[in-house]
Each structure stands twice: as structure tokens, then as C-alpha cells.
Amino acid sequence: MRYIITTTQAHTIVYKFLNTLFLKRGEKKQQNPNNPDAYSIKLESSGDLTLNYYYYGPGEYDDDGPFTTATKHLGVGHLHVHPYLVDSLRGILNIRETRVLDMIADWFSEKYEVDIDDISIYPKRKKPPLY
């Protein structure tokens, strides 16, 4: 049997799911010792699902500086989402992957008051997605 739900209802389901999964364990915030404008936030669930956020300030490099293969950043926040988390939510809600990623980014952005400019699935899937 299929049900049609509104966008607000879908957000509510995703937010409650993520709150239950991640917020009881807390987060690990780590400042980059070489760069005061860079930090990361890592969330882990009991089932090894992760959300990892990385921020490098404007003009900062993610490695050893401009003379290496490092990437120069423009104040961009990156969020990496575990593939099983995306696949689980897609299975529950039957919505497209990009929509799930957007809702996860919205939740993370609200909880930690950060801007997310780039979101990706990491680590890469070893096999096709499960729905």
C-alpha cells in the first residue's frame, strides 16, 4: 500500500530519524591545528553510519599550501554522508537521492548552524544502491 505524504511530513520523518540516530551519541568537533579557520564535525551512529562536515575558511588550503597539490578553498562547507543512510531513507520514503541529501543537509545545517555548499556520498558505494 502506498501513501502520499507532504514535503513537511517527509522533513519531519527525516529529522526525527536523524535525531534518534545521531544526537544521542554526540558529535566530535575538531579544530585544524594548522589553520584557525578550518574545522570538522563528525557524527557517528551506533551502526557505524557517519556524517562528516569539513570547513576551510576563505583562501585556506586543505593540505600544505599553494605549492603542493592542495585545494584552495573559498569558505566552503562540505558534508559527507554514508551511503547506507541515504539508501535507508530512500527505502522508507521512496524519494530520489538528491532530495534525501538535501533534507540531510537541511537538518545538519539547522542543528550545527553551518552552511553546507557541497554534499556527497562517502565512502563510495561498493555495489548498486539498495532501495
Which runs of consecutive H residues, i.e. helices, occur in 5-124? 7-22, 83-93, 97-112
131 domain-assigned: no
80 domain-assigned: yes
71 domain-assigned: yes
Which runs of consecutive H residues, i.e. helices, occur in 23-117? 83-93, 97-112
Q: What is the domain count for the chain?
A: 1
110 domain-assigned: yes
66 domain-assigned: yes
Range of the structural domain that residue 77 is part of: 27-121
pLDDT in tens, 5-51: 899 999 999 999 999 999 777 789 999 887 778 899 999 988 788 99
pLDDT surpasses 90 at 115: yes
pLDDT of residue 128: 74
Cβ pair 101, 55 in contact under 8 A: no
Cβ pair 12, 40 in contact under 8 A: no
75 domain-assigned: yes
